[in-house]
Structure formats: structure tokens, C-alpha cells
Structure 1
Amino acid sequence: MISAETVTLTADLMSGLSGRVSYNEPMSEHTSLQIGGSAAVYFQPEGLASLTQFMKRAHAQGVPFLVLGGGSNILFGDGGFDGVVVSTKGFRTIETQVTDKGLFIRAGAGVSLAQVVLAAEKESGQGIEGLAGIPGTLGGAVFGNAGSFGSEIKDAVIAVTIVSMDGQFRVLRKGDGRADGLNFSYRKSGIAENTVIVSVDMRLPIGDSATIAAKSHECLIKKRQTQPLSFHSAGCVFKNPLNGYAGALIEHAGCKGLTQGGIEVSMVHANFFINRGGGTAADYLSLMERVGSMVRAKFDVELSPEIRIIGDMI
């Protein structure tokens, strides 16, 4: 539910900012699940100056905001988000340079991860072939330390340019030892919530172009065979527990094919819930609870969400 207070605050907050600004924006149009109520404001800044100005104003006025990349790992509540959704889709430049240290890539947070994998392949950059087929943007991939087939984005990242919650521009460098810097772990980067990733610097060793292309293609084919990529989903629902795989636990607990409203546990990969049409956030959360309960009862394992759950559920 969008409050009158938020409407009053955001009218001043968004004044004079360059970029796309819309009010009561349906978040179902910006997520891979195609689920979610409306955000009070949707803002896609035109550039760094506009973003920084917004962040300073929002911090000073206490207006809640959420950073959104490709919307592929997130569930918005049916009741919407009483704040500002800040999209990074405007930051879409990508540069590559081959040096004596390997391939250097600098890409905007709004560039799709698929584009980065292809750019690396084109320049014979080796090491991120396993990320082929992962949806979403580079910024989201770095924030959540995306990984697949033994590869994680952290292995290639050397620096991340951010704008902090209070509007400060900073460059976080891997290995600098700062507590508030880059501290990668499983599906985490150490980057604070409501920090906007603007761009990412990566370095990859140079390899054999044919081998790199073949591996990327192989990983993409495997994903298409083992994941329901043709359906609307948010990717993996639960994190893999220690020494196990969430998908296997869900499948062996007898959950494949379970439905709740328009949401179904995929028959292709049990750790994917697909929206078959008309699904709601309430359906999705209810199915998560049912699956979690069944896995707990059979294996005494507590599954933790990998997707981000945002906003009012009702």
C-alpha cells in the first residue's frame, strides 16, 4: 500500500532529476517472475550525477529505496513497495582491453551478464564461461556473487564502483581488507544493501578462443536442458545447504510438480518455482513454506531463501 506520506515526500525528492521517473509502477513489469504490486516511484537515473543527487536526497529525507537490476532474483509483494525502486538499467556501457596482464573489462551495472560473457569470449578472456545462461545484470550478479558450474563472478572481479546510501562515490577493490569493502562468500559480496553498483572492473587470463566458446556453449546447453528457462521464474529459490543441493532435497522430498495458485515447483529443476500464469507473491511464499516444511520433515535440513523478498505481501 502506497502511503500519502510517501507521495508527498517523493514529489520533492524527484524534482529536477534526469532520467525516467514514473509513479505507481507495476513491478510485475520489471521482474522475471512477472509478479508484484506497484512501487510508489520507479526511477532510472540518466547518469551518475542524477543518481548521486537522488541518493543524497533520499538519505536526508529518510525515504526508503531499493536497487533493482534485471529483476531476476527477486519477489515483490502483492501489496507493493512504499518507496522508490532505483533501476541500474541506464548504466550499460562496456569496454574491453587486452593487456599483458590479460583481458580487462569495465562494464556498467546495467549490462546483462550474458553480454559480459560474450564480450569475454570475443576477446578470448577465460574463466567466466560457466556463467553463461545466468539471467540478470552484471550489478546483480556481483552483488549476489552469482555462480554456476564451478565458476563464481568473484573470481574475475577486481574492483566495483558504487554510490553509497548517503550519496558518496567510492571504488571498492578486492583484497583491500576493508570491512565495508568486497568480501565475497557464497552468494554474497559484502556490499551493503541499498548501495548502488555503478560499474564493475574485471580481469581474465587469455585462453584459447575455440575452447572458451565451446565451454560457454556447453554450459548454456546444459542450463537449457536442466532448468526451466522458457518459463517465468526468479532462478533458484533456496540456497544450497552445506554439503548438499537444494534441488535434490526438494525433489527427493516429493515436491516436484506441487502447485499453489499459479505457481508450480518445476518438473525440470525442483529449486525453480515457475509462474504458469496468474501467480501471486502470496502463492509463491505459501509454496516456499510448504516445500521448506517437507524438506525439513524428511531430511531435518532448514532451507534458506536465495531470492530477495521485498515489499508488502498483502
Structure 2
Amino acid sequence: MTEGNFVDYVKLYTSSGKGGKGSVHLHREKYITKGGPDGGDGGRGGHVIIRANPNMWTLFHLKFKRHFRAGHGEHGSKGRSTGADGEDVYVDVPLGTVIRDTETQEIITEITEEGQEYIIVKGGMGGRGNWHFKSSTNQTPRYAQPGVDGEELDITLELKILADVGLVGFPNAGKSTLLSVITAAKPKIADYEFTTLKPNLGIVEYRDYQTFVMADIPGIIEGAAEGKGIGHRFLRHIERNSTLLFLVPADAPDITEQYEILLDELRRYNPELLDKERLVAISKSDMLDEELKAEMKAELDKNLKVPYLFISSVAQQGLQELKDTLWTMLNTADVE
């Protein structure tokens, strides 16, 4: 998937179908000239249904189709025949999609499970035919109910990526390089800030054919929690990751300080993000000699309050240890 095809925010107009009218009909046959009422019910209008599609990773397919209208119910007919229901319309979305009412911004539902469906606007009920209204005092009712109108709703779809591990770091920390090395993902990589403008997903192959999903979230900048740049859009994708991997380059002026700044951005955006498992990976560590690495370890043991390890994506150093640690963290979290 190219970066331009990743769409994580769309607005849609949805409209359900109107119910069909009930029939006003009196039964007539060759030798029955004054039969009773036998007008059938109208069919219900079609629903607009949001449906989970586990094979989708983006809302790109909704970028150019913004209006979804379900079919109207057909009218009832003689012989108590019920009209056909209006055709339902399905809107397929990837797992991790949040649906909001565009006007009120209230969350209507979240699509997080395979096979999940949610009726976003219900079709109108079909009207009842005249045979329902027969009584001892009114043997031949000549009226039936009209169908109920459908509903309209403007909705906003936001995608929050569902991944096991979310990569968090400043621009140019080496997140895309790491993802390209330990997964089959092919993110855009270059030696300048903000190469990644959209999240990238990759499947990490672990021992015994087991896997977990890693997401490269675009680099955080100070002020992202206040929406600086497009910070809010970046941070939204971290909410659904069960474990956060903080990537800090070995040549950073102060590794602990960079980690604390990243942590503070998450705290200000959503304090619940601090409840997630955290691991710090010091990238580009192939540029360190053993003496310098020992000095850094002593400093980090004293100041850094979370587990850490040294890795190099380019030199393929520490990557198996990283996978082992992440796998243990993910499965320990599942057990708890």
C-alpha cells in the first residue's frame, strides 16, 4: 500500500430506506363478490450497516464514495402479500474504526471485532395492510398505514490502528528502518525528519511460526498533544496498541530526557496511555564502542525507570533480543 492510499479519517452521509405502504384491497373471486380485506403489509426500508472487514487496513475505499442510501421497502399487495424489504447497504471498515455523529461528535460505536456489524440508520417500518384493521364493527376497512420514513445521519469515521506494538519516537529515530528490517513492510526511509507521514504496519515473524503486528507511528514532536502540526492524528493510532516501544537514537543528547518528553506528550494527550507496557530501544547503537555503551548503561540504570536494550537495525544487532522481550511482554499482558 502506498503512503498516499492510507486514509484514516472520512465523513459520510447515510440514509436508510422508507417503509412500503400497506395495501387497501378487498378479496374478490369468481363466486366471492364481497370478500373481506386482504391487503398485505409494506416491506421495511433498507438499513445502512457498518461491517467489520479484517482484510482492510485503511479507509481509502471511502475517500471517493461519501453517500450511502439504502433501498425503499415495496408496497403490500392483495392476498395479504407483504412487500419486499428494501435492500440493505453495507459499509465495510477495517478493525479499529470509531464511528461518531458528525454534528455532536459523540461516539456511536467502535468496530473492533471480526464479524461485527452495526446498523447505523434503521430502515422505516412498512405500513400495515387493511386486513389488520378488520373488526366486528368495521368488516371492510378501506384504509392502511403508510410506510415510516427512513433516517438520515452524517457520520465521521476515524481509524485507530489495531496493532500489538506501537513504535513511538521523534522524527528520524529509526522507526521505519526497524520496521523494514524485522517485518516484510516497506516503509519510505530517508535521512530527514517526517519521512513517515502515515502509519505503517508490519507483521513480525517470531519463533515457531508465531507472529505479532507492529505499527510505525509517525514521529512525535513536542506539542503534538496540543495538536501542533498534525499531532492529534498521529497520537490517535497509539491508543489501540497494547505495548509501546519507545525508540531513542544512541546519538541523542540525553536519552532519558527524550524518553520523558515522549512520555509527557502521551500523558497530555491521554493519561490512560501510560497504563500500557513500555520498553525503550536505543537505536543506532552500532556507532557505540563497548566503553561508551558501558557508561551509558550505568547512566540509564540510574535514571531510566523502564526496561531498555540496545539495537541496531542496520547492523542487525539486538533484534532477536528485542523480539523475545516484546513477545514476553505481549503474552504476559494477555495472561494478566
What's the TM-score once normalised by structure 2's chain length?
0.23
Give the number of the structure whose alpha-carbon radius of gyration is greater. Answer: 2
Between Structure 1 and Structure 2, the one with more helix by share is 1
Between Structure 1 and Structure 2, the one with more strand by share is 1
Of the two structures, which has the highest relative contact order with CA contacts closer than 8 Å and spacing of 6 or more?
1
